[in-house]
Amino acid sequence: MGIDTRLTRKDFLFSSLALTLASRASWSQTQSKEAAFTVDDIAAMERVIDFKLAPAQRKEALSSLLEFRAGYANFRKMNMPNAVSPATIFVPLGKQPKPGKKTDVKVKSRNVTLPATDEDIAFLPVSELSELIRMRKLSPVRLAKIYLDRIEKYSPQLLNVISITRARALSAAATAEKEIGAGHYRGPLHGIPFGIKDLFAAKGYPTTWGGAPFKDQSFDVDAAVVRLLEEAGAILVAKTSVGALAMDDVWFGGKTKNPWNTKQGSSGSSAGSSSGMAAGLFAFSIGTETLGSIMSPSHRCRVTGLRPTFGRVSRAGAMALSWTMDKAGPICRTAEDCAVVLAAIHGADPLDTASVDRPLRFRSEIDLKKIKIGYLKDDKALDEDDASNGSSEILKLLKSMGVVATPVNISPVENGVDMVLSVEAASAFDGLTNSPDIEKLTNSLWPAIFRANEFATGVGYVQALRARTLLMEKFERELGDYDIILASDRGGSLLFITNLTGHPQLYVPLGTDAKGNPIGLSLIGRLYDEGTILGLAAMIQAKTQYWKLRPDLTKI
């Protein structure tokens, strides 16, 4: 459900072998389905997968390979929709709470004054907007109109919204206003407008996945996350831009821009959800991450993003990219807001067999004496976007709060494990790869990736899954008894590791460096223990107040 290719280019593509495979796959699609398959073809395949057979062994294998090819052809005739998942479920390994749905989320109480301008209202966090609505100082209809007007004003320049859900939003806002007026207050999201990444279905509106082949696609259902948020009283105002098929920030409408610097893309693939949050186009948003797609745009756009534990949030009704790696999570102003949104959307869903019930507890202040905090010892920048390249400043801040973190060594990911993602993505879009519509997916690396991975073997894929098991076991040993691991910016090597192990990660913006580049902090938590990392982040944000900064939109 999302990749930032700057993080994965070295792992995925564009070695000479991958380019060769992409070329062969493209050529093979032009050949007759009845073309002969011989032992000479097997010999060529051996060179691709570094596996050697004797001539007699090739003859023995020929009949089985012909059966495989017939099976592949049959699968393509079945036209399996993207929503069909494999009959296997990924289960994160490691210390975790016992099953249970108990939700205990409490934010700091506050007395909020209604700001004088719509601009100031638009940039309030959910925790304050909800109090204004609850006390009937702010009308849900007025708030919805504030955001809808801002979307219509700024999104054409920022290219961060694909569909404005005005009619649905105003109807829901009017209902919320009546309910609250009658004393039926559903909770802290009642009357709060949100945007959602256009990987999620919303009845009555297109669900484009950001890709030209799907720009007219729609589903007659709401995704589970949309349904749960609306049951909590939240109001959908926009379907936000997504890099085509969940990669980067370029979709069929153009490149989503960073409101802080419109010469720059917002990063991806939760491009519009992050850009729109930074621009004050909705009170909170929903993104997805498979390998960096919440962390990277949150960093670029200087907003707070949470990638929950794998399985914490249902993905039913969302585009599948990697069934064993996709996660959905909130992108907000503050950690408190992330906790409030997560409380509404977490839990098991029969339509997503990987989703689970686990308890969720959050407090805006936690007892720092009761948790053990480490920091990534080998904390190196992923690329030029990561300005801080180390946690030294935040360690000073934590020390002033009474926390002393200790260094932790975490082993890097073994080569080839991320084959899991690319093979599953190729499977999810096998129909597209074998259709002329693939040519509509311009300015994207996906066609070459999909074609190359048609040549991946079943043995190789299962070996990658087994290597992933070893990675989870090693990470659990190295994590030891730490509750939180800190790393600068997007988390360095931990970003790759924890997307594969399924552990949660939270990005907290911390202003800019002397050159104006964004800096921030990543907090890695235990499986299903989002509450602890959110609690520490809430304390950091209460002390630093960086989340209150906003871009100058007069310059866009």
pLDDT tier at 4 (50, 70, 90 boundaries)?
Answer: low
Encode pLDDT of 374-415 as tens digits.
999 988 888 888 877 667 777 888 888 888 899 999 999 999
Residues 172 and 176: their CA atoms lie apart, in Å, by 6
**Residue of 246, 158, 293 whose CA lies nearest to 441:** 246
Kindly report the average pLDDT of the chain as a whole number: 92
Angle between helices 335-345 and 224-231 (to 10 degrees): 100
| Cα-trace Rg, the chain | 24
**Residue of 277, 258, 213 whose CA lies nearest to 444:** 213
Instruction: For the chain, give the longest Cα–Cα distance.
Output: 83
Encode pLDDT of 142-153 as tens digits.
999 999 999 999
Q: Amino acid identity of 463?
A: Q
Q: Which two tokens stand for residue 371?
A: 């948790």
Lowest mean per-residue pLDDT among 7-21, 91-105, 251-265, 288-302: 7-21
Residues 412 and 409: their CA atoms lie apart, in Å, by 10
Q: Which two tokens stand for residue 426?
A: 């190729």
pLDDT higher than threshold 90 for residue 114: yes
Write down the pLDDT at residue 388.
Answer: 73
Q: Exposed (0-12), middle (13-18) or buried (19+): which is 517, by Cβ within 10 Å?
A: middle
pLDDT higher than threshold 70 for residue 25: no
Q: Which two tokens stand for residue 108?
A: 């700091």
Residues 293 and 287: their CA atoms lie apart, in Å, by 8
Q: Which of 17-21, 273-277, 366-370, 411-415 has the highest mean pLDDT?
A: 273-277
Q: Which of 6-15, 82-91, 281-290 has the highest mean pLDDT?
A: 281-290
Write down the pLDDT at residue 397.
Answer: 84
User: What are the sequence ranges of the domains in the chain?
Assistant: 103-413+470-555
Encode pLDDT of 484-509 as tens digits.
999 999 999 999 999 999 999 999 99
Fold of 103-413+470-555: Amidase signature (AS) enzymes (3.90.1300)
Residues 499 and 119: their CA atoms lie apart, in Å, by 36
Non-local (6+) Cβ contacts of 533 within 8 A are: 484, 504, 505, 506, 523, 524, 525
pLDDT higher than threshold 80 for residue 8: no
Encode pLDDT of 332-349 as tens digits.
999 999 999 999 999 999
Q: Which two tokens stand for residue 14?
A: 């564009």
Overall average pLDDT of the 241-267 stretch: 98
Encode pLDDT of 206-220 as tens digits.
999 999 999 999 999
Scan for tokens 């100082």, then name that residue: 137
Q: Which two tokens stand for residue 213?
A: 């082949």
Write down the pLDDT at residue 392.
Answer: 75
* Global pTM value: 0.93
Write down the pLDDT at residue 35.
Answer: 60
Residues 430 and 25: their CA atoms lie apart, in Å, by 12
Residues 196 and 285: their CA atoms lie apart, in Å, by 5
**Residue of 334, 298, 303, 295 whose CA lies nearest to 497:** 295
Overall average pLDDT of the 515-538 stretch: 96
Encode pLDDT of 419-431 as tens digits.
999 999 999 999 9
Residues 110 and 115: their CA atoms lie apart, in Å, by 15
pLDDT higher than threshold 50 for residue 15: no
State how beta strands 161-164 and 193-197 pair.
Answer: unpaired
Q: Which two tokens stand for residue 42?
A: 């097997």
Write down the pLDDT at residue 5.
Answer: 60
Write down the pLDDT at residue 19.
Answer: 36
Non-local (6+) Cβ contacts of 428 within 8 A are: 82, 320, 321, 322, 323
Lowest mean per-residue pLDDT among 20-24, 173-177, 316-320: 20-24
Percent of the chain with pLDDT over 90: 83
Write down the pLDDT at residue 110.
Answer: 87
Percent of the chain with pLDDT over 70: 94
C-beta neighbour count of 160 within 10 angstroms = 33
Encode pLDDT of 350-382 as tens digits.
999 999 999 999 999 999 999 999 999 988 888
Q: Which two tokens stand for residue 398?
A: 């934590």
pLDDT higher than threshold 60 for residue 115: yes
Non-local (6+) Cβ contacts of 5 within 8 A are: 12, 247, 248, 445
pLDDT tier at 7 (50, 70, 90 boundaries)?
Answer: low
pLDDT higher than threshold 70 for residue 515: yes
Non-local (6+) Cβ contacts of 456 within 8 A are: 419, 422, 423, 426
CB of 270 within 8 A of CB of 251?
A: no
C-beta neighbour count of 23 within 10 angstroms = 13
State how beta strands 518-525 and 505-512 pair.
Answer: antiparallel
Non-local (6+) Cβ contacts of 56 within 8 A are: none
